[in-house]
Amino acid sequence: MPPLTLPQILQATYPLPPDSLEKVLALAEYVELPKGTRLFRDDQLAHHIYVLQRGLARAYAQREEREVTFWFSAEGAVLASIRGYTEQAVSYETIELLEDSALFRLPMHALQQLYRLDVHLANWGRVMVERVWLQTEQQLIARQFRTAAERYADLLQHSPHLLQRVALGHIASYLGITQVTLSRVRAQLKKAPHP
């Protein structure tokens, strides 16, 4: 399957009329970046957002000697430091590429100016942030109220591709468990009878 185009990705977030879409496309710069590139860092102000055409990214925070992974994003995702995007402040997290990736880079300042001039683009930006908030809320609730096995089963059901593309240490961090616990959960699920 060919990669999604930038217009397809943008339109999937929120339908834009042709003139509004053209304004965003005029800002976009296509870039290919290697695995390990940090698009956003928790010690720097963000100046761009990225649209992921091909590849995989994760957001995480480093606390002492432990990393906590917040989310993974694959093809079609919009990647942004939400704190940088909404408050023009240093990010809470680092967002790094887990694979060699193809992206479209959009300057945040120019995009914010378009929001003030075009209600369709302002709505696109609002919906994009709402999706990030929803994803964050779902992860927070899952960590608070679901067992490790339930969180892993949910990942298997909704994002099985991640298990082929993400290191188990990152998966464990995302689920809020150790790698030892993840191994135990995986073993238990393999033994469980299937309906």
Residue pLDDT, tens place only, 41-92: 988 888 999 999 999 999 999 877 888 888 899 999 999 888 877 788 888 8
Q: Where are the domains of the chain?
A: 6-145, 146-195
Q: What are the contacts of 6-12 at 24+ separation with CB within 8 A?
A: 6/51, 6/53, 6/104, 9/51, 9/53, 9/76, 9/78, 10/51, 10/124, 12/76
Let me know: does 46 contact 105? Beta carbons within 8 Å.
no
- 143-164 pLDDT tens trace: 778 888 888 888 888 888 898 9
- The phi, psi pair for 37, rounded to 5°, reads -65, 135
- Distance between CA atoms of residues 104 and 114, nearest Å: 17
Q: What percent of the chain has pLDDT over 90?
A: 52
- The phi, psi pair for 47, rounded to 5°, reads -120, -5
- 119-132 pLDDT tens trace: 999 999 999 889 88
Q: Return the CATH class of domain 6-145.
A: mainly beta
**CA nearest to 11, candidates 103, 115, 127:** 127
pLDDT over 90 at 95, yes or no:
yes
